């Protein structure tokens, strides 16, 4: 069986972090699937979905790392098109990916003790963010 | 980083609902579309001035009125906000589990008159002693960040490294960390409980990294 759902997250971007764990856990429970996998997929190219410990220090370090590797203020070629100026967010997506998959065992997300599912939205302005949650299994 | 001796909880957004959540409750009751308040610069600027006592409650509500699209007078909006504020009961319960050796401070980002009106209704006295309230509206700080971190550690009579701030705004929390202040971003009671556990405040003798046995 495959159960899918699209969710909308309000975010004001610029490294906005949203904890998705409880929402995904509820969706898995409601799906009734006992054994399988849950996919969390961001339908945009300026954010990432990761599994991390939720700690403001980890997030501050992550932001520092992003700034070192892909600075927000940099003349990205993407900006030459003149449509938008979010080259850093596209580079971060290429480094981190827009989706995670978590095993579902006994009807629950088999996350480790300190693992949370996080959306990091790096869009440069406030935009609605859409994600697909999909549970596959039996 | 020193031993944490005091935990300072931001009032709106941690101990009670946040102002954006209160406003959206009011909009929902009126059948109006909800607003993503943190994305509105007019709102965030007015909220900071309100927090620092630079705007009265009436002036704050006067600024909010056009943003809500409601036709209420500022006085009415103030009253509605006050009666709408709800506590975060699980969070309050969790705060009560902190051992007595750790001082609990409330960072009141609402005016003293609002706090007074809410304290009884929300039973805040059961968590915070009256001498451990900090009213940011009386701080006379010209700006919130980063001044508030230094102000709070001074109010708590502690070195910054001995205070843990629990802040509902991630950007502010990360900024505090960058200034060397131990800070937790408040998202929900589950993550606050984990924070208390990991910092050894509640029920931890050794760190257990082993995931739950599920297979």
CATH label of the domain that carries residue B115: 3.40.50.1000
- Domain total of chain B: 2
> A84-99 pLDDT, tens per residue?
999 999 999 999 999 9
Which residue has 């408040």 as its token pair? B186
Same-domain status, B67 and B144? no
* B59 and B152 share one domain: no
Q: What chain A residue is nearest to B182 in terms of C-alpha separation?
A: A57
- Residues B12, B79 within the same domain: no
Structural domain includes residue B207: no
Q: Is B215 inside a domain boundary?
A: no
Below-70 pLDDT ranges, chain B: 1, 204-206
CA distance A78 to chain B (A): 25
Confidence bin at A117 (pLDDT 50/70/90): very high
Tell how far CA B196 is from the center of its chain. Answer: 17
B184: closest CA of chain A, how far (Å): 6
Return the pLDDT at B209.
75
Residue B91 maps to a domain: yes
Domain co-membership, B100 together with B58: no
pLDDT, residue B1, reads 62
> From residue B117, how far is each of B104, B114, B123, B205 by CA, in Å?
21, 5, 11, 40
pLDDT at A38: 98
> What's the confidence (pLDDT) of residue B210?
79
pLDDT score at A23: 97
Question: Inter-chain contact B174–A59, Cβ cutoff 8 Å?
Answer: yes
pLDDT of B172 reads 95
Residues B102 and B181 in one domain: yes
Residue B46 lies in a domain: yes
pLDDT at B113: 93
- Number of domains observed in the structure of chain A: 1
Contact check, Cβ <8 Å, B184/A59:
no
With respect to residue B208, please indicate whether it lies within any of the assigned structural domains. no
Last residue of a domain, one of B44, B60, B84: B84
Q: CA A43, CA A135: separation in Å to the nearest integer? A: 17
CB B87, CB B122: distance < 8 Å? yes
Contact B191/A111, CB-based, under 8 Å?
no
Q: Give the pLDDT confidence of B64-108 residue by residue, as tens digits.
A: 999 999 988 999 999 999 999 998 889 999 999 999 999 999 999
Query: For A22-42, what is the mean pLDDT?
Result: 98
Residues B146 and B162 in one domain: yes
| CATH number of the domain residue A34 falls in | 2.60.120.460
Both B35 and B90 in a single domain? no
- A52 compared with B72, residue with greater pLDDT: A52
| Residue from A11, A34, A35, A56 whose CB has the most chain B CBs within 10 Å, to mutate | A56
Instruction: Tell me: do B189 and B96 sit in the same domain.
Output: yes
Roughly what angle, to the nearest 10 degrees, separates helices B74-84 and B19-29? 110
CA distances from B6 to A46, B101, B154, B174 (A): 39, 9, 12, 19
Instruction: Kindly tell me if the per-residue pLDDT of A115 is higher than 90.
Output: yes
Question: At which of B69, B84, B99 does a domain end?
Answer: B84
Which residues, 6+ apart, have CB-to-CB distance to B213 below 8 Å?
none
Are B76 and B155 part of one and the same domain?
Answer: no
Cβ contacts of residue B211 below 8 Å, gap of 6+?
Answer: A110, A111, A112, A113
Give me the domain span that covers residue B168: 6-16+86-198
**Cα four-point dihedral sign A105, A107, A109, A114:** negative
Q: Same structural domain for residues B42 and B137? A: no
Question: Is residue B40 included in any domain, yes or no?
Answer: yes
Range of the domain at A128: 2-137
Question: Which value does ipTM take for this structure?
Answer: 0.86
């Amino acid at each position: 069986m495959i159960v899918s759902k699209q969710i909308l997250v309000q975010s004001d971007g610029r490294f906005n972090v949203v904890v998705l764990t409880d929402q995904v856990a509820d969706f898995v429970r409601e799906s009734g699937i006992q054994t399988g996998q849950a996919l969390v997929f961001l339908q945009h190219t300026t954010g990432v979905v990761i599994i991390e410990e939720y700690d403001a220090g980890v997030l501050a370090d992550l932001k520092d790392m992003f700034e070192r590797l892909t600075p927000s203020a940099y003349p990205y070629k993407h900006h030459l098109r003149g449509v938008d100026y979010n080259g850093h967010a596209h580079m971060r997506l290429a480094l981190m990916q827009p989706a995670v998959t978590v095993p579902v065992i006994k009807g629950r997300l088999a996350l480790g003790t300190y693992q949370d599912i996080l959306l990091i939205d790096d869009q440069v302005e406030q935009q609605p963010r859409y994600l697909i949650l999909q549970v596959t299994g039996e | 980083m020193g031993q944490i001796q005091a935990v300072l909880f931001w009032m709106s957004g941690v101990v009670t609902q946040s102002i954006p959540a209160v406003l959206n409750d009011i909009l929902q009751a009126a059948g109006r579309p909800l607003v993503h308040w943190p994305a509105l610069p007019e709102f965030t600027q007015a909220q900071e001035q309100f927090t620092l006592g630079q705007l009265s409650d009436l002036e704050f509500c006067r600024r909010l009125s056009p943003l809500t699209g409601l036709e209420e007078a500022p006085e009415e909006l103030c009253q509605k906000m006050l009666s709408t504020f709800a506590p975060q009961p699980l969070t309050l319960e969790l705060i009560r589990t902190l051992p007595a050796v750790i001082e609990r401070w409330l960072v009141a980002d609402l005016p003293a008159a609002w706090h007074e009106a809410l304290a009884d209704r929300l039973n805040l006295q059961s968590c915070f002693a009256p001498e451990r309230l900090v009213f940011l509206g009386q701080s006379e700080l010209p700006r919130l960040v980063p001044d508030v971190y230094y102000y709070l550690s001074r109010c708590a009579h502690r070195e910054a490294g001995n205070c843990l701030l629990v802040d509902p705004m991630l950007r502010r929390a990360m900024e505090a960390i960058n200034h060397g202040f131990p800070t937790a971003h408040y998202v929900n009671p589950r993550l606050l409980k984990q924070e208390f556990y990991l910092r050894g405040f509640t029920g931890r003798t050794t760190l257990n990294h082993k995931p739950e046995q599920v297979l």
